[in-house]
Structure 1
Amino acid sequence: MTGLLGNKVITQIGILVHDIDKVSQAYADFFGVTKPDAIITDTVDIAQTEYNGGPSPARAKLAFFDMGSLQVELIEPDEHPSTWRDYLDEHGEGPHHIAFVIEGMKEKITLLESKGFPLQQKGEYTGGRYAYMDTFKELKVLVELLENDKK
């Protein structure tokens, strides 16, 4: 059985933070790795960010730690409405999502919505697109779908 996503390999864990520089340094020190430079997500015209069905100017600082087969993503959201901002305000710092690489983004979103997991936020990034599905009630964390462009 392949499940709803056709893939059960977690590729990333996303963690919300108030101060990405401080937490990135803590991870770097803890694991004895180089502190990554934080990047800022693209502006809405490029990212085409949609939150709860409407466009959002929300951006976030991101820092990525590659930990073997799993990536840890630290996320410091700006003040604009987004899954990151609202989740951080409601739940505080800590895990936000587990991410899976999938194929057929539109079909997967439709399938998950039909199972009672609504689309919360989606957008584009260089090389692909993402979607956060609201699985919190059942899974206690959101599921992020990642679809990379074919090379």
Structure 2
Amino acid sequence: MDKGLLGTKTITQIGLLVHDIEKVSAAYADFFGIDKPAWFWTDTADKAQTQLRGESTEARAKLAFFDMGSLQLELIEPDHQPSTWREHLDKHGEGVHHIALVIEGMKEKIALMEGQGMKLVQKGEYTGGRYAYMDSFEPLKVMLELLENDK
């Protein structure tokens, strides 16, 4: 069997939206008996080049990462600028926002997914790579995040 549409079947991350990253980080750290990671802000718009449905946005978020063996748990506390994070948190409350896969060939993978009816919602850059959130709710019941790290 091949590796499917994206060339991988390995989920590397689960992203959760939260209202209070300090509180939720402490809860996860206590629950698992591990150190609480420091949170940090995503890059500013000039560096992140964030786009929501093709339009530039100043959106930023606080992020905290827990490395849980083969899977990473990402906590996301968005600011109030337009973003998929803010929209999802306002509409659905706290909880799962996405599952992520590391891919190669971002433009090609976005085109493949859009060809399957899964539209690009938000994309941006981060130090060392780029991301894209794809609207895969209808077929997969969760948003997929594509991560492409620089080599």
* TM-score class, shorter: over 0.9
Number of residue-to-residue matches in the alignment? 150
3-state DSSP class of the match of 1:3? Answer: coil
Q: C-alpha distance in 2, partners of 1:80/1:9? A: 31
Q: What does residue range 89-128 of structure 1 map to in structure 2 within 5 Å?
A: 89-128=90-129
Identical amino acids, percent of aligned pairs: 72
Q: C-alpha distance in 2, partners of 1:141/1:77? A: 19
3-state DSSP class of the match of 1:8? Answer: coil
1:139 CA displacement: 1.5
Structure 1 range deviating more: 135-144 or 7-16: 135-144
1:140 CA displacement: 1.7
Q: Partner residue of 1:137?
A: 138
Q: Partner residue of 1:84?
A: 85
Q: C-alpha distance in 1, partners of 2:12/2:148? A: 12
Q: C-alpha distance in 2, partners of 1:100/1:12? A: 7
- TM-score, with structure 1 as normaliser: 0.98
Structure 1 outlier segments of 4+, above 2 Å: none
Residue segments in structure 1 that go unaligned for 5+ positions in a row: none
- TM-score, with structure 2 as normaliser: 0.98
Q: C-alpha distance in 1, partners of 2:116/2:139? A: 11
3-state DSSP class of the match of 1:24? Answer: helix
CA distances 1:115-140 after superposition (whole Å, capped 9, x unpaired):
10000000000000000000012222
Report the RMSD for the aligned CA atoms in angstroms: 0.6
Letter in 2 for 1:129: R
1:145 CA displacement: 0.3
3-state DSSP class of the match of 2:9? Answer: coil
Q: Partner residue of 2:47?
A: 46
Q: Partner residue of 2:72?
A: 71
